[in-house]
Amino acid sequence: MDLDDPRVRAPEFPPSVWLNTYSEVSLRSLQPSIVLLDFWDYTCINCLRTMPYLRAWHERYHDLGFEIVGVHTPEFRFARHHEYVKSAIGRLGMRWPVILDNDRHIWTSFANRYWPTIYLIDAQGYIRFRYACEGGYTQIETAIQTLLLESKSDLDLPPLIKAEDAPGAVCIPTTQELHIDSLTDPLPDDDIPKAFSLPSNLTDGHFYLEGFWRLNDDGLTLSGESGTITLPYHAADVYAVLSPNPQDFEHTRFDHSPIKIEILQDGQPLSDDHFGQDIFKINDRSLLRVDTPRSYHLVHNPAVQHHQLQLRILESGLTFFAFSFGSCVAPGTAESSGNQEP
């Protein structure tokens, strides 16, 4: 495999908070190991889908001179809180050190632009490979093996992992990621609750609110006792970044009272085979329990379909940040019309 020439030396880490390690880490101290640098954010669904491959590569190659370092660069302000990142590290089964890049110093020094982005650094500290965004797992593992053999030519390496992005997998366009600026109505003024109502015409590419909501930095917080979020979309999977806590995430306590949300698709409870990983069922109701600020998996449709999703919230304090969507499905199930017209 052709790699980049060893011309650009990887910049060293600045002083920061380290997690999942007993001491600070430097790139120089990791030499002559091959280092995979992973720019990620624990709310980023593309980053989360990359994690199984990172875990597998760490297990396969760590004893052969391979290290992973996670660079957590937060998209949302609450994700600067080290306790949330620490909890995510445990939940995701990460076995490598993570440095907090809250002020984007490392992101800037690498001229990075995307979550996730993977850099491979050779035994002499030079950047030899870069892959931006989700996917490319076969390419990345091939590059790992190439660099390991470049360092130790007699290594006995395992066959490549069969990746989901191999030929035959189908990934088709979906609704684009939606943040609070995708609301059709003007956003509320700072800390002043605003009443929202559902319009008669709903269009894909936007979301809609009912109830009293207020602007909370990069999120929208339900101020009234109840409210809804309605989302027309086309995708196989739907994820939402949500928090049970509307307070200042820099100073608030880590514990929160969870908030339950009822999830409806096309006006009906989710069928069991459409449950996202975070959905549970009580008395034929499909429910979501929001107990910490993170990304929640709401819906897993068998194909990319057009639907209308509704989140019914019965307690104040819930804060919404973003919707994201998944489209990679098995061959032969790429798309169907679903219950909602395009």
Report residue 164's pLDDT band, with 50, 70 and 90 as the boundaries.
low
pLDDT at 253 over 80: no
Ranges of beta strands (E only) in the chain are 18-19, 34-40, 66-72, 98-100, 117-121, 127-132, 170-171, 178-179, 194-196, 208-216, 219-222, 227-243, 259-265, 268-269, 279-282, 285-290, 294-313, 319-326, 328-329, 335-338
18-167 under CATH 3.40.30.10, yes or no: yes
Segment 200-240, tens digit of pLDDT: 999 999 999 999 999 988 999 999 999 999 999 999 999 99
Residue intervals of the chain classified under CATH 2.60.120.260 are 171-338
Collapsing DSSP states into helix, strand and coil, what is residue 174? coil
The answer for residues whose C-beta is within 8 angstroms of residue 301's C-beta and 6 or more apart is 235, 236, 237, 274, 307, 338
Mean pLDDT of 7-19: 96
Structure confidence at residue 256 (pLDDT): 65
- Residue 103 CA to residue 121 CA, distance in Å, equals 23
pLDDT at 335 over 90: no
Choose the most confident range, by mean pLDDT, from 163-167, 180-184, 255-259.
Answer: 180-184
Segment 26-60, tens digit of pLDDT: 999 999 999 999 999 999 999 999 999 999 999 99
Mean pLDDT of 132-139: 92
pLDDT at 142 over 90: yes
Q: Which residue has the higher pLDDT, 216 or 142?
A: 142
Segment 303-319, tens digit of pLDDT: 899 999 999 998 899 99
Residue intervals of the chain classified under CATH 3.40.30.10 are 18-167
The pTM is what?
A: 0.90
Structure confidence at residue 337 (pLDDT): 38
Structure confidence at residue 288 (pLDDT): 98
Would strands 319-326 and 219-222 be described as parallel, antiparallel, or unpaired?
A: antiparallel
Cα 22 to Cα 19, 40, 97, 205, 239: the distances in Å are 8, 21, 9, 45, 33
- Residue 306 CA to residue 324 CA, distance in Å, equals 15
Structure confidence at residue 148 (pLDDT): 97
The answer for residues whose C-beta is within 8 angstroms of residue 335's C-beta and 6 or more apart is 172, 303, 304, 305
Q: In what order do the strands lie in the sheet containing 18-19?
A: 18-19, 98-100, 66-72, 34-40, 117-121, 127-132
Collapsing DSSP states into helix, strand and coil, what is residue 215? strand
pLDDT at 251 over 60: no
Segment 83-134, tens digit of pLDDT: 999 999 999 999 999 999 999 999 999 999 999 999 999 999 999 999 999 8
Structure confidence at residue 328 (pLDDT): 59
pLDDT at 280 over 90: yes
Mean pLDDT of 8-24: 96
- Fold annotation for 171-338: Jelly Rolls (2.60.120)
Using CA of residue 298, residue 133, residue 97, residue 34, what is the dihedral sign?
A: positive
Structure confidence at residue 115 (pLDDT): 96
Structure confidence at residue 336 (pLDDT): 44
Structure confidence at residue 184 (pLDDT): 87
- Per the CB < 8 A criterion, the answer to whether 298 and 208 are in contact is no
